[in-house]
Structure 1
Amino acid sequence: MIATPLHRRTLFRAAGAAALLAGLPAAQRAAAAEEQGLALGAATPFSYDLLTARAQALAAQPYQPPYRPAPEIVEAIDYDAHGKIKFKTDLAPYADGTGAYPATFFHLGRFFGEAVRMNLVVGDDSREILYRPRYFDMPEDSPARKLPADSGFAGFRLQESNKRDDWRTQDWVAFLGASYFRAIGALGQYGMSARGIAIDVAVKGSPEEFPIFTQFFIAEAPDPAQPVVVCALLDGPSVSGAYRFTLHRTEGVVMEVEAAVFLRKAVTRLGLAPLTSMFWYGEYGRGRMLDWRPEVHDSDGLAIWTAGGERIWRPLNNPREIMVSSFGGDSPRGFGLMQRDRNFDHYLDGVFYDRRPSVWVEPLAPLGRGAIQLVELPTDDEIHDNIVAFWVPEDRPAAGSRLDLSYRLHWLADEPYPDQAVARTIATRMGRGGEPGKPRPPGVYKIVAEFDNPAVMRQIPYGVFPDVVVTASRGTIVRPFSEPVPNGNVWRATFDLAVDGTDPVELRLFLRLNDKPLTETWLYQFHPEPPPA
């Protein structure tokens, strides 16, 4: 194969180096060339269709786990040791201008020990990047130095455009660990993650399965205005699949995801377009001595746009036990895990939770009948992702099935298609019920939802109070009323809930004026407190 400019520039960093090599024998030239840059394997034909055929063939074969080099050494590369291993940006593909967005690579470590193969795509061919320890700067005493020479990579990330002076220190999308990937939003921060697929999340008696992106194929984007196309091969005990990501570096990041997924065996809970986040506590659900910060979360709610056009907001919980909520129906127009609260004073943390991205799933092909499912797991710290949301088809796919997916992920500061005709939830609050100045009755809770949209709320005539339309799956609703919040356009819906026991209560609420909804629908799963010991 004739070398393309990419291959020449990757292997020979300067014309002077090439001239020096010209007089050497072939074997010495190859060895010297590799010392100048990345070592690449032989060119092989590549296309998304070929990758899909490969995934389908894999699904017809028994599952073979990926290569895990020297597990006892990889286990020693803990969080701190892994953070000290840095890919040399001078070796990054496209750093020299052949593409707009240089790619850098992650080393193996304790939390991602499977070798992932990296390939560069040029035209109709791909060439594997052969792992070499010299690609990485690492301390002399790093456990990684003891790994075998064929260890492989853990993942990759795309740096900012090489037209920017700070591209070496700024990246905008990363694929690392199982089928996880994430991107920065419009406010420049990483936060929650997405996944290629979710298998048996929170299924009683069945451990969750984590399929792995075993290979990536990265194509160049000659200009920053063009998207980067990345293909990936997914494999796991129950599924295999081919994925194509078209990555746009916009105000935030927008990704088109196309996938063909093949089932080796039936799956109890098949989660499509899954999102993963963290919610420890918000303005509600915080114990007095839990932590010094007012709020800690990457996301504060699940937003849904139904097929019928209803807008739903479900505040997140950190429950006492694993909870799964299901929102069924026909193909939704979209859903996402949002970070709506953008006030730094509500977090007071230098990790900038107020800047974490919101991620919206926009189906590009009808999803059919099924449900958006929200899984909430208990956590006692911010280091654990405890929130998962995904689409589950109504008909459980059988072994041998093929699923074709097409959707768009918006990593932004807000929903990409907000409804300006309704006010949205900006806060959920709760405390003891009853009336001030009187004994507070046990089992009675005061619950408050606040809504904001100046264009909507300014239409409420002075002295008129919208109806609070609220229902509960159990218990009794007492004294519902609405009121404007002083010094703003925010309206507040307040009610007491009288309920026995500790079983969850499903609440549904919106504000109405002249038989017309003023707000989105607020849904909340309330967990009554257990009685004092």
Structure 2
Amino acid sequence: MNRRMFMKASMAFSAVSGMTGLSTLFAQSAWADDGIADGTAVRFDFEVLKQKAASLAKQPWGGQPGPLPQTLADLTPQQYNAIQYDANHSLWNNIPDRELDVQFFHVGMGFKRRIRMFSVDAESRQAREIHFRPELFNYHDADVDTKQLQGKTDLGFAGFRAFKKPELARRDIVSFLGASYFRAVDETYQYGLSARGVAINTFGSHEEFPDFTAFWFETPKADDTTFTVYALLDGASVTGAYKFTIHCEEKRVVMEVENHLFARKDIEQLGIAPMTSMFSCGTNERRMCNTYHPQIHDSDRLAMWAGSGEWIARPLDNPQRLQFNAYQDENPRGFGLLQLDHNFENYQDVIGWYDKRPSLWVEPVGKWGKGSINLMEIPTTGETLDNIVCFWRPAAPVKAGSEFNFSYKLYWSQLPPVRSSLARVGATRTGIGGFPEGWAPGEHFPDTWCRRFAIDFIGGDLKAAAPKGIEPVITVSSGTFKQVEILYVEPLDGYRILFDWYPNSDSTAPVDMRLFLRTKEETLSETWLYQYFPPAPDQRKYTDDRQMTPA
């Protein structure tokens, strides 16, 4: 949990869905002890869950969650954080020398949905519910009146988190908390961007936040570093059955995801494998960097490996107005929001530790067909709100009663699992243009306003290709570009491409820019995509605001 998750919870979780009809999934049988699982045993498998999700889609949505006991509804973030799960009651505490374990989050504050949890024996397929009881938690200084919670076995939980080697490290590596949000870490143990089970009408008339309303955990063996959890999704417009196979590797977390979605209503915009991140300012957008931090972001780019084989890097932005872009594709090979700058000096942040934030890469399994990778960028004045959303949108319309299923892998790691052999975009910078590189504007500013762009390309075979002649291929959707330069930058061991963009109208509409490097024989780099927002005509001037105090 961090400050951004709390603020996101207060906005999003009032819209999440209910638990309608879940109890009909289970038949009664004799009770038996199974660690902290105290419910009756019933048979469970993924096929049963898919049937339940399909049946649930034909029923009315249960609506928003009911009220919590007053002692939980009024919790402050500090009080909520003070509630800690008792590790002696962790899900797999009864397995000696285990590699993995799971603990649960308490409901309260903005986390109002009561989620049911079940323990599943992997061999017998018998599932038992884990009911809420106050003794599972330590309340410390949370100022919770536990008398109001006694006997509230239906209170459920808000989510769960998973630990690796719990005897040695008490830091969680996977967290599912709020709506269908979840996150994981890499070897730095630093959380960053979030994923979601599904996105509904993100850039539509009314965004929805379906909820994971129940989880089933297969009990692993002691030496397993992989565990499987199933989830039921329920929302106003969609239900779903999910299977997560979560590999807790040494330096990263890899999730295999299989979902089966059932539409209750027509859906204007269905988002598959959605992810949510934050970009306040970076090398290309300095407008909001009004603190001592050189950069502030969880992710610095959208990366795409198109079905055609093209590699694309699209730097993220903190725009002055809401922006939405759709990149058409067919059978994409991968995409993700990446954080590729891991140099502390470029952030100077000892609270957020943005240099340690992981990237998230989506690898589709099977053919996804036609659709588009959608990117929404929301203006923000700081780092406390996630303002970047990305997902795959299928081209096929989503009508009430229709069914969809998608399989994919999620890689939570510093670098994506696949890299092109081409030169990649290192950084993007912009600033004043209209003068020769190596010269300051000096006493006389340029007569004609323009904007300079500097794009660094590193890696690949650029140095070997240089004798053949490196050609920047630049296209812009409006205006013109001039003063193109190619500079070898020794500290980067790469090449910097410079060009100045000149407007040809008073329009402030965004300008789409595209650049890649080639020789006559071959493509040398991934493709740089950028969206520039020209200022209003009355702001297209250079003002010398430098001041000196006379001696």
TM-score by length of 1: 0.89
Aligned AA (2:58):
A
Alignment of 1:497 onto 2:496: no
CA distance in 1, matches of 2:509, 2:173: 43
Which residue, 504, 508, 514 being the options, matches 1:508? 514
| Structure 1 position 40 matched with structure 2 position 44 | no
Cα distance in 2 between the residues matched to 1:382 and 1:440: 35
- In structure 1, C-alpha distance between the alignment counterparts of 2:299 and 2:494, rounded to whole Å: 21
What one-letter code is carried by the residue in structure 2 that aligns with 1:182?
Answer: R
Cα gap change, 1:494 to 1:396, in 2 (>3 Å): same
Unaligned 5+ runs, structure 2: 1-28, 541-551
* Partner-residue secondary structure (3-state), 2:183: strand
| 1:104 to 1:144, Cα distance in 2 relative to 1, 3 A | farther
CA distance in 2, matches of 1:308, 1:186: 33
Structure 2 residue 168 is matched with structure 1 residue 165: yes
Report the CA distance between 1:517 and its aligned residue.
1.6
Match of 2:487 in 1: 483
Equivalent residue of 2:54, what SS? helix
CA contact 1:71–1:113 (8 Å) conserved in 2 = no
CA–CA distance in structure 2, aligned partners of residues 275 and 117 of structure 1: 24
1: CA distance between counterparts of 2:346 and 2:495?
Answer: 19
| Higher alpha-carbon deviation: 231-240 or 489-498 | 489-498
- Matched with 2:347 is 347
Question: What is the CA deviation profile of residues 28-84 of structure 1, one whole-angstrom value per residue up to 9, with x for unaligned ones?
Answer: xxxxxxxxxx35111111101000000000000111136434275444122111110
SS in 2 for 1:516: coil
CA distance in structure 2 between the partners assigned to 1:67 and 1:439 by the alignment: 61
In structure 1, what residue type is equivalent to 2:91?
P
Query: What residue in structure 2 maps to residue 63 of structure 1?
Result: 61
Counterpart in the other structure of 1:15 = none
Q: Which runs of 5+ in 1 are unaligned?
A: 11-37
Per the TM alignment, residue 483 of structure 1 is displaced from its structure 2 partner at its CA by 1.1
Q: 1:52 aligns with which of 31, 50, 53?
A: 50
CA distance in 1, matches of 2:71, 2:268: 35
Q: Which residue of 2 aligns with 1:113?
A: 112
> CA, structure 1 residues 393+207, in 2 after alignment: closer, same or farther (shift >3 Å)?
same
What is residue 395 of structure 2 aligned with on the other side?
A: 394
Matched, 1:466 2:470: yes
Q: CA deviation at 1:134?
A: 1.9
* 2:116–2:214 CA contact under 8 A, matched in 1: yes
Counterpart contact for 1:237–1:264, Cα < 8 Å: yes
Distance in 2 between residues matched to 1:145 and 1:429, nearest whole Å: 55
**Contact 2:79/2:142, CA 8 A, preserved across alignment:** no
Q: Distance in 2 between matches of 1:485 and 1:71?
A: 62
Give the Å deviation of 1:144. Answer: 6.1
- AA paired with 1:458? K
What letter is aligned with 2:496? R
SS of 1:404's equivalent in the other structure is strand
| Aligned counterparts of 2:382 and 2:473: Cα–Cα separation in 1 | 35
Query: Alpha carbons of 1:279 and 1:147: their partners in 2 closer, same or farther (altered >3 Å)?
Result: farther
- In the alignment, residue 360 of structure 1 is paired with which amino acid? W
Structure 1 residues 504 and 41, CA, compared in 2 at 3 Å: closer, same or farther? same
Secondary structure of 1:102's partner?
Answer: strand
CA deviations on 1:144-201 (whole Å, 9 max, x unpaired) are 6365423221000111124x422xx211101000000010024332100100000000
Q: How far has the Cα of 1:258 moved from its partner?
A: 0.4
Distance 1:69 1:92 in 2: 27
The 1-side partners of 2:174 and 2:450 are apart by 47
Q: Confirm whether residue 256 of structure 1 aligns to residue 261 of structure 2.
A: no
How much does 1:225 deviate? 4.2
Aligned to 2:229: 230
Encode CA deviations 1:364-415: one digit per residue, 9 max, x unaligned.
Answer: 0211111000011111111111111101011211110000111000111111
Whether the 8 Å contact between 2:84 and 2:138 is mirrored in structure 1 is yes
Per-residue displacement from partner, 1:258-306 (whole Å, max 9, x unpaired)?
Answer: 0100000011111011011111110122238612100010000000001
8 A Cα contact 2:237 2:266, kept in partner = yes
**Equivalent residue for 1:153, pick from 157, 169, 172:** 157
Q: Determine whether 1:319 maps to 2:281.
A: no
Comparing 237-246 with 182-191, greater Cα deviation is found at 182-191
Instruction: Give the number of aligned pairs.
Output: 495
Alpha-carbon displacement from aligned partner over 1:181-228 (angstroms, at most 9, x marks no partner)? 01002433210010000000022xx22100000000111221444420
Cross-structure match for 1:366: 367
**What corresponds to 2:91 in structure 1?**
93
- Equivalent residues in 2 for 1:444-463, closer than 5 Å: 444-453=450-459, 455-461=460-466
- Whether contact under 8 Å (1:94, 1:100) holds in the other structure is no
Inter-partner Cα distance in structure 2 for 1:226 and 1:481:
51
Quick one: distance in 1 between partners of 2:472 and 2:133? 64
C-alpha distance in 2 between matches for 1:526 and 1:160: 44
| Partner Cα separation in structure 2 for residue 60 and residue 289 of structure 1 | 49
Alpha-carbon distance in 2 for matches of 1:458, 1:41:
66
Distance 1:141 1:254, change over 3 A: closer
Measure how far apart 1:127 and its partner are.
0.8
Q: Which moved more, 1:129-138 or 1:172-181?
A: 129-138
Change (3 A) 1:360 1:129: same
User: Which stretch of structure 1 is more off in the superposition, 191-200 or 321-330?
Assistant: 321-330
Deviation at 1:466, TM superposition (A): 1.4
Paired residue secondary structure (2:283): coil
Q: Contact 1:188–1:252 (CA<8 Å) still a contact in 2? A: no
Change over 3 Å in CA distance of 1:3–1:132 after alignment to 2: closer
**TM-score if structure 2 supplies the norm length?**
0.86
Q: In the superposition, relative to structure 1, how do residues 465 and 142 fare at CA in structure 2: closer, same or farther (>3 Å)?
A: farther
- 2:432–2:452: 8 Å Cα contact kept in structure 1? yes
Q: Please say which of residues 255-264 and 219-228 is displaced more in the overlay.
A: 219-228
1:283-322 correspondence runs (5 A) = 283-287=283-287, 290-322=290-322
SS in 1 for 2:418: coil
Give, in whole Å, the separation in 2 of the partners of 1:501 and 1:265. Answer: 39
Residue number among 507, 514, 522 corresponding to 2:528 in the alignment: 522
Show the counterpart of 1:356: 357
Q: CA RMSD in A?
A: 2.0
Q: Which residue of 2 aligns with 1:429?
A: 429
Q: What is the rounded CA distance, in whole Å, between the counterparts of 2:409 and 2:265 in structure 1?
A: 27
